[in-house]
Structures are given as structure tokens and as C-alpha cells.
Structure 1
Amino acid sequence: MRYLALDFETGNASRLSACALGVSIFEDNTLVAEQTTLIKPPAQVGKFHWGNVRVNHIKESMVADAPAFDEVWQGAIAELAEGSVLVCHNAMFDTAVLCACLAYYHLPVPECRYVCTVKVAQRVWPQLQNHKLDTVSQALGIELNHHEAGSDARAAGLILQAALRETASADADELAEKIGMRLGRISCMGTVPCSIAKEFQGGKAVRSTQSHV
């Protein structure tokens, strides 16, 4: 199974303000490639917010000559995303940024599933004080330069790999079954969120008898 770990950094509250993308590719549970790229957001998103700059240290001047999202995404990354399992820490944010940018540039939406490593960590290591990326990374001995897109993407991928080992799961599908999680899905038909069962007893998810769309 191929996993494509992603992390976006943004310049302000707009989902179109992606200013950096980190990608780590895992094949057969092995990290095989990495890429980090600065991105120049569309002019319409406005000025970078000081709060975002304080967190990710990316200033507008740093992306003035950077490629736009469509240049970064098209080609190898788009091809790899198709059919992969995307891996993000707080996937609701990163998948929202991805879908917003794809829509803005009229790019095809990849048919893929995704997993949120926040939800994975909550199930696999419930004893942690919290399940922020830096907390989980420190607990697992994962080196992290927090809010640097490439480092965050790699950490998310390594957290998933650690969870697979911890639960003796062969892949994300088996892990999801064991911890009561449904993988999210992205397609041209829309997005289905990554979710966890409300009830989870004795290491097994208690499924509702009601149908879900």
C-alpha cells in the first residue's frame, strides 16, 4: 500500500493561502521519497497574517518567486496521489486546503482515501497528555521541526507507521478495523471525512445498526 503524507502551511485563514507543501511517500511501509516546496498563493487571498508567519516563519517575500499550487501539484505528486492513502495530522485542515486549491486551479480531484493521524494517535496512544503533532512525535522519538511542511509531513507518515507496528496491522485498512476508524475519501463526487466509532469497547468498535450515507 502506498501512503502519501501531506502537510500544508498557509499564509492566512484562507484555504487558498497555501504557502508550502511537504510530501513524504511511503511504499510498503518504507519512506522512499520526500519533497518540500514553497508556494505562491493567488493574489486574491490577501496579505499574510502575522499569526501564521509567527508559527511557520514563511513571509510573503519568501514566496514571491515560488511556483503557484498548480505547478507544484501537477505531475509526479498528482500521479502519486491517485489511488494512494493520504496521511495528514489533522486531516480535516489539510484535505480542505488541498480541495480548495484543486478547485481554484480547475485541477482533477484524485480518487484516494485518507487517514488522520490525530484520530489514530487518540486510539492507539490514549494515555498521552494530548495528541498534537509535537506531543505524539516526542513520545514516539520522531525528530520534528514543527510547522516546517516537510518535517510535519514526514512525522505524520512515521506516526502512522508506528501505529501499524503497535497494533500489528498490515495496512491502514486493518488498522482502521482494529481501532474503530473509517478512512476518509476524496473524489470528484466530494469528500467523506475520516471518522472514529463513537463507541469502542474491549479493543473493538461497536457499530451502529443504522445505515450511513
Structure 2
Amino acid sequence: MNSPLPSENKPLKYAALDFETAYWGPANACSLGIVVSNGKEIVDEWYHLIRPMTLKFDAGCMKVNGIHPEDVAEEEPFPFFWDEIARRLEGTIVFAHNARFDMGVLASALDFYHLPDIHFRYGDTVVLSRKLWKDMENHKLNTVAENLGFSFNHHQALDDARACEYIVRKALEETGLPSVEALMKETGQNLKRFAVKRGERKLAT
């Protein structure tokens, strides 16, 4: 008898996250949503407002996400939440929509606050949706999720993370693949390893 493939033995698990930011620059996260999925449903979720390093919010950011300085003035800064965040991401596969942005926000926080490294691989649901659903008018998060039947409050971090998770779930359903590793391979993508370039980020003045 042939032995099962590793992906057949390993429980399906992945996370999705979304940051909202206060301004353009380092240490700028003002909210974060994370969900953890088994491929059929969300099994864990976490959300919090975060006080960024400065309360000089950019008007464009406030217009997009609706978060203002007074909303986060009494909240804790990013390091306070690090244990909660890290235990949901460490060692798993993480998705974000336009992952380069969200991974940059996370790397900036770890660098700026001298937090320890975290180890996970990540994928981008923008690229995934372009591969699988080429005929959509665009591949923005709200367009893709709503075309797949998911309604949500766009630019609210937890809702955006839920939408991102849903895109991965629908991709697994439509392809019939047993794991996110197989899904990425089938769509011609590589999971990237998260890394932080230390000592390069200074607070913008």
C-alpha cells in the first residue's frame, strides 16, 4: 500500500490578516485583524485598534479606514499585542490581499520596536485571484470577495481579513486541492518567507 502524501496527513490550516494604517511611514499600524481557518470555516479570529508611534494621522488614511487619532489615543502600542499576534502567525501560512503592503507594515513594526523575528510563509490573494478568476473587472479585495458571494465592511481590518480568508477557501473549493501549498503550486506561485530587514526604518518627522 502506498503511504499517504504529507498533505493528506497534515490538517489544513492557514491565516489571513489585514492592517489599517494611520500615515505613510514606519510604525504606522492603527488596527489589525487576523483570522485562522481550517479551509472550511474560521476557527479563530483576533482584532484590535493599535496606537501608532505618532498621532499625526494622514487625511487620506483616515478617509479610507475611518480611524482617527482620538480612536486610538488610549490604545496600547504594537508591542503590547505581540504575543497574541505571534502565536497566531508563527509557523503557519499567511495570506493578505496585496501582501507586500501588509508584510511591510508588520516588518516595520518588528524592526521599529525591536521585536523578535517570526517565522512563516505567505501568499497574496491578489495574485491568486488574478490566476483563478481572470474575467473579473478588477481584483480589488471588495470586487473579488463580493463576486464570490461574500459581503463585508471594506477597510475594517477584521472584515478584510475574513474576506481574504474566504477567497482562499473558495480557491481551494474550486480547484479541489488538498492544501494551500498545492494551491499555490497549481497557480504557479511560490510561498514567500517573511523576513525583516533590521535597522533600516526610522520614524518619519
TM bucket (normalised to shorter chain) is 0.7 to 0.9
Is 1:177 aligned with 2:188? no
- Map 1:1-213; keep pairs closer than 5 Å: 1-43=12-54, 47-74=56-83, 76-187=84-195
Amino acid at match of 2:94: L
How far 1:15 moved relative to its partner?
A: 3.6
Q: How does the TM-score come out when normalised to structure 1?
A: 0.84
Amino acid at match of 2:68: K
Structure 1: 4+ residue segments shifted above 2 A? 27-30, 187-190
Amino acid at match of 2:80: E
Higher relative contact order (CA 8 A, sep 6+): 2
In 1, the alpha carbon distance for the partners of 2:19 and 2:26 equals 10
Structure with more of its chain in strand, by fraction: 1
Tell me how large the CA RMSD over aligned residues is.
Answer: 1.5
In 2, the alpha carbon distance for the partners of 1:183 and 1:120 equals 11
The 1:136–1:28 alpha-carbon spacing in structure 2 relative to 1, beyond 3 Å, is closer
How far 1:185 moved relative to its partner?
A: 1.0
The 1:2–1:13 alpha-carbon spacing in structure 2 relative to 1, beyond 3 Å, is same
Which residue of structure 2 aligns with residue 202 of structure 1?
none
Q: How does the TM-score come out when normalised to structure 2?
A: 0.87
Query: Number of paired residues?
Result: 187
Amino acid at match of 1:125: W
- Give ranges in structure 2 of 5+ residues lacking alignment: 1-11, 199-205
SS at match of 1:181: coil
In 2, the alpha carbon distance for the partners of 1:42 and 1:15 equals 8
Amino acid at match of 1:96: G
SS at match of 1:182: coil
Amino-acid identity (%)? 39
8 Å contact from structure 1 (residues 113, 185) kept in 2? yes
In 2, the alpha carbon distance for the partners of 1:31 and 1:10 equals 24
